[in-house]
Structure 1
C-alpha cells in the first residue's frame, strides 16, 4: 500500500482535497462549491500537466460514486412509503424519556426514525429492559421532517439524512411484538452494545455510569443533560466524543497484550481488523471512531501523516457515504487533518500537549463557530487539563471496572465522579461567557481557513502574519457585527420573542418565550425537557453574533413570554430588564428576577427606548396593573421606513384604551396581540391603526388553535397581509435605509 502511494504521480493529499471539494459539490451543490472544485481541478492540471491525466480515471470514478449515491438518496427521499406494518427495531437506539419512546428501525430495506407515546408504566418498563432483537407490528403515520423553523436553526431532517433516514414514523398503536431471528452479525453486535448499556445502568450509580457509557460506548442519556450543557458551555464536550483517545487506548492495549503473548506482528495486524469492526459497532458506529480505526489500520501498513489522512478519507467515503455531511464528521476529520499537518515532535511532555491544544483550537476555530457560533477561550486550558484526567485516569479506570463488573461490582469510586462534577460546576460558575462570533457564510469560512493556513506557513514572517491576523479579525468582526438593522420575530413555538438590532450593535429583545405545561401526569410519564430557548431563541441570537442583550423587555408575566428568562441569562449577557409596574406585583416573578441578578427598570407610558437612530415609545400601560394580558407593555416607533407596533398579549380592553389615548396611530407592521386570539385584534382597533401587515407568533398545531379564524378574517377584510410563525417560521426584516422581508419557509 505504501509503495503504491509513493508511486502516485501526484501527492495523494492533493487528490484527497480535490475529492473533498467534489464531495461537497455533489452533496451540497452551490456556486461556491462548484467554483472551488473547478479551481482545484484546474490547479492540479496546471501544476502536474500530463501526470494529472494518469489520475483522471480515479477522479471520474469517485465523482461517479458520489453522484450515483446522491441520486439514489434523492430517489429514496422521493419514494416515501405510504404505510408500514412491521418494524425491525435497532436495539441500541432505544431512548425513553417519561412516556416518550423513540428508536430507529428498519423495514423493507429502509431505515426510519420512530416515535411512540407509551400507554402504561408496564410498557415503559418493557422497553427499558428490552435486550432482544424484536419485530414490532404497528399502526403508524409516516411523515417527513418539517425542517428548521428559525434562520440558521438546527435541521433535524438534515441530521437524519446523514444516517440515511428520510422519514419519521409516528406509532399510534403497537399491535404485537415478536422476537426475530437474525443472521446479520451487525445486529448481534448492536444488541451486545444494548446489553452492555443496560448492564452498566443496573450495576453502577450516577454520575459514574454516565461517564462509563459515554467514554466506553459513546452513549449519553437524557439524565446527563444538565452536565452535558455545562461541558458544552465550557467548550469541552468533545472529551466525550469517541475518537483517537479511546481508539488509541484500546488498540494499543490489545496489541501490547497479543504481542506479549508471543504473537507475530503480522498476525496482530490481521487480528486488529475484526477487533476494529467489533469496537466500532460497540460504540454505535461513530464517525470519529471509524475514522480513528481506519487511520490505525493504515498506520500499521506503513502509511503516516498526510498519506494516511488522504487514504483514510477515501476509505471512509466508501464505508460511510454521508460521513462528512454532519458537524461531528467534519470536526473529527478537521482535528485529524490538523494533527497530521502540525509538527510538534520537537516539543515534549506537557508543553507539547498545551501547544498542540492551542494550535488545534485556533485551526479548528472557523468550523467551530460555523456550527456552534461561539468559542470559549478557557477551553484551551480546560482541554489540556481534563484530557489528561480523562485519558490517563478515567478511561483506564472505567475500562477495568467494566471488565470486572460481571464478577464484582466496584462502585465505591463514585465519589471521584461526584468530585469531578463539582469542580466542573465551580469552573462554569466562575468562568466568563464564551466569545460569540456568529455564523460565517461559506465564503467567509473558506477564506478564514486560507488565511489561517497562510499564517501557519509563513509563521516566521512577522509582518505578513500580522497583516493576515488583521484580516482574520476583520472577517470575524463582520460576521459578529454585520452592519445592518433587523427586526426578527423568532419562532419560539407557542410564545413570543422579538429581536431588534441596529447597525451599531444595539440590541433590544421583547420577551423570551417559554413553555406552558397543563398536563397533570403521573411520575413515570414526566419527561425531562430542555427549555424552548435552548433550541430556538439562544441558537438564533448566537448565530447572529449576539452575546449580549442591552435591554430585555418582558411585556407581562405569562409563561409563554417570560418562561425562559433565567435560561437566557445563563447563555447571553443581559444589560437590563424592563418591566411594567404591574409585573412587580407578582411575587413569583420578582423572585425570579432576583435569581437572574440583573438590573431591573420599570417602564410605563411616556418612556422611550433608543435604537436604529430612532425611538421606541412606550404607549402602555398607564398605571400599575396586575401583570396580565391587558397590562402588557406596548411599544411603538418608526424604524427605518416603517411604523412598528408591538402589543404583547394585549386584548380588546387594552386596545380600546390605546384608541382613546392615541387618536392618531399610523401602523405599517402590527405584532398581533395574544398570538392572534379572537379576544385580541378587535375590529375597532384594526380600523384605528390601519396596518398593512400583521405578524402572528403562534406554535405549530398549538392546543389553543391560535391564530383564531375570526382574527384572520378581520385581517383579510381589511386587506391586511398576515404572516405566522406556525406557517412561515421566523419572520425577519433586514435593511439599511428600508426593509427587506424574509421568512424561513
Structure 2
C-alpha cells in the first residue's frame, strides 16, 4: 500500500475510464483517451501504478457490463394488484403524492393524484416502512422528447427504477406499519426534520433551511433557484464538502474544548458521519465529503494519508457500489471541483497574501474547474458568477448555514430564541435573494454557450489543467500562452455557427402547438416560427397548488434554444394570434434578443397579440407586417410569404404561410391555415410543388383538403401535435388522405422533435423517438 501512496487517484480515474468504456460500447475516442492516460502514467512511474490501473480498467469494464445487464425489471407491466413497501418519504406536492416503493427487491415510482383535501390530510400519515396493497396501473416513464432535453426514463434507469405505479385510489386502511429498520429510522428522522422546518420556519426561509440541513431542495422558490443556477450559485443550495467540513470541524472543536480526547472524538465522528450522510439526503456530494473525512480521520492515528488519496479512495468505493454515479452531474461537479481545490491548495491557494486574495483564488479555481461541466449540462454561464460567489460563499458558510442550524436547534429547545434567529435568517436571505434575482435579470452579463462538442469539452479540461500546472510552477510565459489558447478555444466555440456549413430545421415537440426553428448555414439567419402554447395557471384552492408547475416556455422552448447556442433570433414569426402559437413569445423576447417581430397583415385582435406588441414596443423590438408577395433573402436562401392577403375573416386563415427551398427540398409552413386559405393558395399559385409540408392546424380536419394535397403533392408531411391531446389531433381522415397521396408522415406526438440537417442541396431527417434516431434520406 505504501508504494501506492499519493497514487490512489490514478486508480480511481482508471475505474471511471473502465465504466465509460463499457457504457459507450468501446468507443474509439475513449480508447484513445485511455492510451494517452497510460502514456502519462508510464512517464511519471512507478510501474505498480500502471499495473494497478490496467487491472482496474479491465475489472470495471467487465463489472459495469454485468451491473448494467442485471439492471432489469421482473415486472411485466400487466400487474394491477401490488403489495409494496414505502421506501422514501412521500412527497405531497399540490394534488400529487409521489414516493419510491419497493416490490420485493424492485423499486418503482409511485405517483397518485389526490382527490380531496381530506384525503391529502389523511395521506400525511403515510410513512417510510409501511407495507401497502393497492390496485393500479404500471406505466413506463417518459423518454426525452426533444434533442438535449432531460431524459426522465434514463434518470430513473440509473436509479434502478423501470416503472411508475399509478394507484386508482390510496387509503391508509390498506397499509400496515412495520417495525422500521435502522436505515428507515434515519429516513423518518430526516422526514420529521423537513416537516418541522416547513411547519415552523418563516415561508421565505423554509426551502433554503431544508436544503442546507437536510439536502431537500424541493421547497425552494422557483425564481430563487433559477437565479442561483444562472449565477453559478446553485452549489450553495446543496450540502457539499464545505458544509460537511464546517460541521465536522465545529463539532470536533467544541467537543475537544469540553475535555474529550482526540481519539474518542474521532471515533464518535466516524460513527456520526454515515448517519449524517443518510439524514442529509445522501447526495453524491455528501457521500463524497463524508467518505473523505472518514478516510482522513481513520488515518490520523496510525498512518498519514494525503488529501488527494482520500478523494481517490472515496471515488473508487462510490463507483464500485454504484457505477451509475459517474453519469450524475452532482458526482462530476463534486469530484472535479474538490480535486481542483486539493491540487491547488498548497501550491496556489496558500501563496495568497491575505484572506481576500485567498477567497478570490479559491473562487476562480472552483469556477474554472466547473466551467466545462456547467456549460455541458446548463448551456450558459454568467460573467457575474465570480463576484457573486465571492460574496455569497462566505455569507452562506459563516452566517446562513450556522443560522439555519441554530434556528432549528434553538426553536426545538426554546421557541422564543429560535424565532429571533429565524427572523434574522429571514432578513438576510431576503436581501441575498433579491440581489440574486437582480443579477439573474442582467441578461447582458449572461452568456449562452450551447452544449459543447466533446472535442471542445476535452480541450477546455486540458487547457484548464495546463494553466494550473504552470501556475504552480510560476511559469508566467506558459500561463499566458495557455490563457490565450483557452480564450481562442472559447471564441471558436462561441462562434462555431459562423464556421458551420450545416443548416437545421427543427420541429420542436412543444406539446399541442407549433414551434419551428430554422438555422441557416454559417449563421446566415436564425428564424423561429411560433413559440408554442403558454401553460396557463388558473386560480385554485390552496391545497391543490404545486410548489412548481410545469411551463412549456421555461421547461421546453428556452432550454432547447440555449442548448443549441441560440443567442439571438433574427426573425420571430408569429403566424397568428392563437395561444398555442404565440403563448411563449413574451417570455422569449425577454430572455433572448429578437431582431425583428413579424405578424401577418390584418387586425391584431387577440389579447395575447396585443400584449406582445405592447411589450415589443417597450423593448424597442422592430415590428413588421407581411402579406402575400413579400419575401426576404439571406445568402442563397429566399423565403416567400404566400399568405395572408389581409382580408381574411378568421384568425386561422390569417396565418402567415412561408415557402422556401432549403437543403434541396421545397418547404411549406402553413400555421393553422384552413381550407378557405388553402383554396386561395390553389387559385393564386397554379404551380406549388412541395417536398415537405407542415400540416395545417395540427392535423385538424378543417385543413389539408384533398384538393390542396393534390395541388402540392407533398412527399413528407410533418404534424405538430400533443400526445393524447383533447382535440384528438391529427384527424384520422387527414391521415388517410396523406397516406393515399403516399406522403411520409412524421408526427411530434409519436416521433418527438423532428429535425432536418442539411448541407448544400442534401440532408437527412432524424427524430428523437424511438431512440435509434432513425434517419430518413429523402430522394
Same structural fold, with TM-score higher than 0.5 when normalized by the shorter chain: yes
- Specify the SS of the correspondent of 2:70: helix
1:309 aligns to 2:300 (yes or no)? no
1:280 aligns to 2:280 (yes or no)? no
Runs of 5+ unmatched residues, structure 2: 770-779
TM-score, with length taken from structure 1: 0.93
In the alignment, what sits opposite 1:418? 430
Q: In structure 2, do the counterparts of structure 1 residues 98 and 627 end up closer, same or farther at CA, with 3 Å as the change threshold?
A: farther
Q: In structure 2, do the counterparts of structure 1 residues 80 and 383 end up closer, same or farther at CA, with 3 Å as the change threshold?
A: farther
Residues in 1 aligned to 2:536 and 2:308: alpha-carbon distance in whole angstroms:
54
> Conserved in 2, the CA contact under 8 Å of 1:448 and 1:475?
no
Residues in 2 aligned to 1:439 and 1:54: alpha-carbon distance in whole angstroms:
35
TM-score, with length taken from structure 2: 0.89
- Count of matched residue positions in the alignment of Structure 1 and Structure 2: 738
C-alpha displacement at 1:588, in angstroms? 4.2
Q: In structure 2, do the counterparts of structure 1 residues 601 and 18 end up closer, same or farther at CA, with 3 Å as the change threshold?
A: same
> Conserved in 2, the CA contact under 8 Å of 1:215 and 1:395?
yes
The within-5 A match list for 1:324-723 is 324-342=326-344, 343-347=348-352, 348-406=354-412, 407-408=414-415, 409-410=418-419, 411-413=422-424, 414-432=426-444, 434-459=446-471, 460-462=476-478, 464-465=481-482, 468-469=485-486, 471-473=488-490, 475-477=492-494, 482-505=500-523, 506-515=525-534, 524-527=543-546, 528-582=548-602, 584-595=604-615, 597=619, 598-611=621-634, 613-623=636-646, 625=648, 628-723=651-746
Q: In structure 2, do the counterparts of structure 1 residues 396 and 155 end up closer, same or farther at CA, with 3 Å as the change threshold?
A: same
Q: In structure 2, do the counterparts of structure 1 residues 548 and 42 end up closer, same or farther at CA, with 3 Å as the change threshold?
A: same
C-alpha displacement at 1:431, in angstroms? 4.8
> Conserved in 2, the CA contact under 8 Å of 1:458 and 1:464?
no
> Conserved in 1, the CA contact under 8 Å of 2:533 and 2:552?
yes
Q: In structure 2, do the counterparts of structure 1 residues 228 and 50 end up closer, same or farther at CA, with 3 Å as the change threshold?
A: closer
1:18-42 CA-partner distances (Å, limit 9, x unpaired): 2221121123435122443354346
Residues in 2 aligned to 1:313 and 1:480: alpha-carbon distance in whole angstroms:
38
Q: Which moved more, 1:279-288 or 1:175-184?
A: 175-184
Residues in 1 aligned to 2:102 and 2:144: alpha-carbon distance in whole angstroms:
25
The within-5 A match list for 1:233-248 is 233-248=230-245
C-alpha displacement at 1:64, in angstroms? 4.6
Q: Which moved more, 1:279-288 or 1:533-542?
A: 533-542
Residues in 2 aligned to 1:548 and 1:103: alpha-carbon distance in whole angstroms:
41
Residues in 1 aligned to 2:649 and 2:126: alpha-carbon distance in whole angstroms:
52
Q: In structure 2, do the counterparts of structure 1 residues 81 and 184 end up closer, same or farther at CA, with 3 Å as the change threshold?
A: farther
> Conserved in 1, the CA contact under 8 Å of 2:661 and 2:667?
yes
Residues in 1 aligned to 2:98 and 2:244: alpha-carbon distance in whole angstroms:
29
Q: In structure 2, do the counterparts of structure 1 residues 670 and 56 end up closer, same or farther at CA, with 3 Å as the change threshold?
A: closer
The within-5 A match list for 1:202-217 is 202-217=199-214
Q: Which moved more, 1:425-434 or 1:709-718?
A: 425-434
> Conserved in 2, the CA contact under 8 Å of 1:632 and 1:647?
yes
> Conserved in 1, the CA contact under 8 Å of 2:449 and 2:562?
yes
1:82-116 CA-partner distances (Å, limit 9, x unpaired): 42512222343x33332222221211111111211
- Specify the SS of the correspondent of 1:585: coil
C-alpha displacement at 1:164, in angstroms? 2.4
> Conserved in 1, the CA contact under 8 Å of 2:86 and 2:127?
no
Residues in 2 aligned to 1:162 and 1:526: alpha-carbon distance in whole angstroms:
30
RMSD: 2.5
> Conserved in 1, the CA contact under 8 Å of 2:450 and 2:565?
yes
1:740 aligns to 2:738 (yes or no)? no
Residues in 2 aligned to 1:337 and 1:253: alpha-carbon distance in whole angstroms:
23
Residues in 2 aligned to 1:261 and 1:647: alpha-carbon distance in whole angstroms:
78
> Conserved in 2, the CA contact under 8 Å of 1:489 and 1:499?
yes
Return the match for 2:196 from 194, 199, 211: 199
Return the match for 2:175 from 175, 178, 185: 178
- Specify the SS of the correspondent of 1:85: strand
Q: In structure 2, do the counterparts of structure 1 residues 648 and 455 end up closer, same or farther at CA, with 3 Å as the change threshold?
A: same
